[in-house]
C-alpha cells in the first residue's frame, strides 16, 4: 500500500507494547499487528529453542505482511525482527542469518522504544521479572536503534500519559 506508514513498538517484556499498539491503532483509526511470538508460545509451550526463534521470525514477517493491506494509512507493529535478533543473541549467543538479512531488507518509518518505567507484570510468557535484565535488554534495544537509520524515540509514562507521549513522538518522527 503506497503511503502506508509502519510504526514498530519495541522494548523489553512487560513494557506495555501490546497495550500501546492497541491504543495507537484506535487513535489513528487503523489496525495493529500483534507479536507472533505470543501466539507461537501459546500454541507450542513456553520452552523454545534457537530454531524456534527462526520460526517465530518467519511468523512475524507473515503477520506484518498480512496486515499491510488491511491498514488505514498507518500500521502499528508489536515488535519486529530486531526482537528476534536480541532474543537469539541474548539466549543463544548467535543469530540466524535469515533474521539479519530480513532486518536489512524490511523498512519501517519509525520505532518507538518502550521505557522500563512500568512495573513488571507476571505473565506465563514472561521470563525476566528482575530489574537488571530489563535494564540490560532496554540498553540492547536502544543501542540497536541508535545504530540504524530509521527515526526513533523512547516512550515513557503511564496510562494516558504514555499513549499521549507516543502520539506526540509519532508526530515528531513522521509528521
Domain boundaries, the chain: 5-174
How much is the pTM?
0.92
Burial, 121: exposed, middle or buried (Cβ in 10 Å; 0-12, 13-18, 19+)? exposed
Cβ atoms of 127 and 121 closer than 8 Å? no
Three-class SS state of 126: coil
Q: Give the model confidence (pLDDT) of 11-50 as tens digits.
A: 998 899 999 999 999 999 999 999 999 999 999 998 999 9
8 A C-beta contact, residue 21 and residue 27: no
Could you give the C-alpha distances from 13 to 2, 27, 107, in angstroms and in order? 32, 23, 23
**For residue 123, what pLDDT is reported?**
59
- Higher confidence at residue 90 or residue 127? 90
Residue-level pLDDT at 127? 58
**Domain 5-174 class in CATH:** alpha beta
Rounded distance, CA 9 to CA 166, Å?
10
Amino acid at each position: 500500500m503506497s503511503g502506508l506508514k509502519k510504526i514498530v513498538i519495541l522494548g523489553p517484556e512487560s513494557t506495555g507494547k501490546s497495550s500501546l499498539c492497541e491504543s495507537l491503532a484506535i487513535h489513528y483509526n487503523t489496525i495493529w499487528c500483534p507479536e507472533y511470538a505470543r501466539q507461537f508460545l501459546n500454541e507450542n509451550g513456553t520452552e523454545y529453542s534457537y530454531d524456534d526463534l527462526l520460526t517465530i521470525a518467519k511468523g512475524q514477517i507473515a503477520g506484518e505482511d498480512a496486515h499491510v493491506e488491511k491498514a488505514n494509512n498507518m500500521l502499528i507493529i508489536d515488535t519486529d525482527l530486531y526482537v528476534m535478533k536480541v532474543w537469539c543473541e541474548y539466549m543463544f549467543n548467535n543469530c540466524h542469518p535469515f533474521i539479519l538479512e530480513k532486518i536489512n531488507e524490511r523498512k519501517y518509518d519509525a520505532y518507538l522504544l518502550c521505557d522500563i518505567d512500568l512495573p513488571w507484570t507476571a505473565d506465563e510468557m514472561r521470563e525476566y521479572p528482575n530489574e537488571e535484565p530489563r535494564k540490560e535488554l532496554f540498553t540492547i534495544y536502544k543501542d540497536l536503534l541508535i545504530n540504524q537509520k530509521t527515526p526513533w524515540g523512547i516512550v515513557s509514562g503511564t496510562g494516558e500519559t504514555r499513549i499521549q507521549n507516543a502520539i506526540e513522538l509519532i508526530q515528531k518522527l513522521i509528521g
